[in-house]
Amino acid sequence: MTFTITPPPQLSVTSSSKPDTAFLGSTASKTSAIRISNSGGGSLAWNALLPDTTWLTRSKVSGSAPPDDSTIVSSNPSGLAAVTHIGHMVIDAGAVAGSPVTVTKTLVIVPCTVHPVTPDSLDAGSLTTADCAAPHRAGSFARVYSVNASTGDTLDVQLSASFDAFIVVTDGAGTVVPTSDACPGLTACVRNVVVPSNGVRIEATTTVGGATGSFNMLVTKPQRPAGPILLSQRKGDGSTIIGVGATTDTNVVVFRADTLRDPNARDTLQLQVELRFAHVANFAGVATDASTPVLPGAAATITHTGLTDDTVYHWRARTCDQTSRCSVWADFVTGRDTAPDFKVAVPQAPIAPVTPLQTYPSGTQIAVGGPDTTDTIVLKATVSDSDPGDQLRLQVERRTAGSTFSNVPTATASSAVASGQVSSITLTGQADDSSYRWQARACDQTNRCGPWVDFGGNGTGADYKIAIPERPAAPAQLNQYLAGGTTPIAVGGAAGGNPGSTVNVVFKATVTDPDPGDLISIEVEVQTTDVAFDTTTNLHRGAGVVTTGRAAVTVGFSVPLVLSTNYHWHARACDQTNRCSGWVAFGGNVDLDPSSLLFPSDTDFHVP
């Protein structure tokens, strides 16, 4: 028979004896493991008794071994003073060898560590619950910095963070230095901190107690930026240069500096411009425009809109950083003082023409709807433009009466005139008996045109008519009648009448005229047969009738006491303008020239 002798249980406890360190005011616990094992035989049950201090806690209060076991001890620095703290915790396994075991834990609370920082260098970090409490911001964590700077140096501090940042500045003894938070949003910044003789401390902390997160801190020794380099003025496209004193045709100007400079490499810079009307010493030292921020070495532009038309400007520029430190003002062109740097002249369409007229070349006006008795007409109007110096021409669109306008010009003035002058167009070769309507507009030398103006304002009706007067046609169907005008007198017949009295003879003819509306009369020349026609004596003209009408004239003759008097006559047609046709003989008789008693003309009628 074989007997196995099992040794009794043996409690074995191991734990780090290294002290834990935490910052004053931190809340992140420090943890370490207590390892518990049975170095003997059999098994044992263990208990972790309550520590003798409140800042110590254990994760597990009991267990057994084997297998090997452990409990995690947490040292919580919350509320502890800046001294060394010692606490104990007992591991008890009852009546077994090695039990109980007392574990000692040391927690050293230290003040905030001061981190040195060099101006113009960026420090990136984060605030956690393991950081110290802000010395001057109750309830907040902080990272404390000292700055490598000399007494009297001026510093700017900027803290940008994922939390609502806050900055406290103290001297080396911890006395708060008055500052102002000049940055918006989650970024905190202080400006113009003068370094005291005992140094300076910066607390990077939070506005809201207990907040944590990442941050970037920048400490600078601010210096004034240098002036902008290579200033230029450009059109709104940003590329077309406007020369010194030149004219731009838009109301937008772009100011550009090719380079903005600053000895503080991490500054952000703006180009600032002061733009004023020229010819006056009116710079006030106040910027009218500013660019978006850029880094040193970059170009900057400003787009200024709403420039006043037909105006001259001068400007100057400077560079400013985020601390509002600025370079001295630099004129766009040195030494020009009040002289214009550029002029704005935005081309505009001419104004609608006024006082439109239609006239003969002589200047005599033709009334609306009236006749033009030539084939030439002058269309004119006063043209104007708000752009100084523009040269203007009248354009017209002439269409036949009754048709609509297409707003396409049919004629343009041959020469240009200044604004406020009369521009005219002469139209020739117009067809007779045609009616026209017209509209006009003014155009400048850039082919910008103003609105159309309808002449006459009479719808599609005629503004004028071409009515070139023409001679009437020769009269036709000549006839002669007794008084009363109804009883014809045969060729060579008697007009009747009593000796010593007067008898009337009525002469008639059909008259025509190519001019619509003309009134046409017949004119007769009656001579005794022994007298040749001379077309100047014994002329008689009757009342006018419209074309194709029968015109008549009545002539009285003395009845001789004895014998008869023989007459011959011819006629022509005349209109109201005294234009007349050729003469037409009556009756087909022979009218001699000369006529005499021996060789008289044929008789058309005799009295009595």
Q: Is residue 355 part of a domain?
A: yes
Cα atoms in the 13 Å half-sphere on the side-chain side of 38: 18
Tell whether the model's pLDDT for residue 214 goes beyond 70.
Answer: yes
d(CA 512, CA 508) in angstroms, rounded, equals 13
Could you tell me if 575 and 529 lie in one domain? yes
**254 and 316 part of one domain:** yes
Domain that holds residue 174: 114-220
Inside any domain, residue 420? yes
Assigned domain for 73 exists: yes
Q: How confident is the model at residue 467 (pLDDT cuts 50, 70, 90)?
A: confident
What average pLDDT does the structure give for the chain? 92
Determine the Cα–Cα distance for residues 119 and 223; give it in Å rounded to an integer.
Answer: 12
Q: Assess whether 409 and 433 both reside in one domain.
A: yes
How remote is the C-alpha of 291 from its chain's centroid? 20
Asked whether residue 228 is assigned to any structural domain, the reply reads no
Which tokens hold the place of 583?
A: 């003469």
Within-domain flag for 183: yes
Using DSSP's 3-state secondary structure scheme, residue 439 falls into strand
The number of residues making up the chain comes to 608
Decide which of 344, 379, 408 is a domain's last residue. 344
Work out the average pLDDT over 543-565: 89
Q: What is the tens place of the pLDDT at every residue in 491-502?
A: 999 998 888 899
pLDDT of residue 457: 86
Rounded CA-CA distance 526/521 in Å is 16
**Which range (47-51, 263-267, 408-412, 548-552) has the least confidence?**
263-267
The amino acid occupying position 458 is: N
CATH number at residue 575: 2.60.40
The reply to whether 568 falls in a domain is yes
What is the pLDDT confidence band of residue 228, given thresholds at 50, 70 and 90? very high
Whole-angstrom Cα distance, residue 368 to residue 355?
13
* 52-83 pLDDT per residue, tens: 999 999 999 999 999 999 999 999 999 999 99
Residue 165, burial from CB neighbour count under 10 angstroms (0-12, 13-18, 19+) = buried
> In the prediction, which pLDDT does 598 show?
77
d(CA 312, CA 293): 29
CA atoms within 13 A on the CB side of 401: 17
Shared domain check, 413 and 439 = yes
Question: How confident is residue 180, by pLDDT bands cut at 50, 70 and 90?
Answer: low
Q: Residue 472 in contact with residue 520, Cβ under 8 Å?
A: yes
Residue 525 lies in a domain: yes
The model scores a pTM over 0.95: no
Out of 318, 344, 370, a domain closes at 344
Q: Does pLDDT of 181 surpass 60? A: no
- Do 305 and 360 share a domain, yes or no? no
**104 pLDDT exceeds 90?**
yes
Task: Tell me what pLDDT residue 188 has.
Answer: 86
424 compared with 178, residue with greater pLDDT? 424
CATH number of the structural domain spanning residue 205: 2.60.120.380
- Report the number of distinct structural domains present in the chain: 5
Residue type, 292: T
DSSP string, 297-319: T--EEEEE--PPTTEEEEEEEEE
Domain shared by 252 and 192, yes or no: no
In a domain, 3, yes or no: no
Answer whether residue 409 shows pLDDT above 60.
Answer: yes
CA separation, residue 70 to residues 284, 305, 314 (Å): 79, 76, 83
pLDDT band at 101 (very low <50, low <70, confident <90, very high): very high
Does residue 357 sit in the same domain as residue 427?
A: yes
Q: Please tell me whether residues 376 and 457 are part of one structural domain.
A: yes
Question: Is the domain of 502 the same as that of 452?
Answer: no
Looking at 407, 441, 466, which one is the last position of a domain? 466
Residue range 404-416: mean pLDDT, rounded: 96
Together in a domain, 310 and 262: yes
d(CA 350, CA 422): 14
Q: Is the dihedral of CA 170, 176, 177, 180 positive or negative?
A: positive
Taken in order 290, 295, 296, 299, the sign of the CA dihedral is negative
* pLDDT score for 184: 66
What is the CATH classification number for the domain harbouring 23?
2.60.40.10
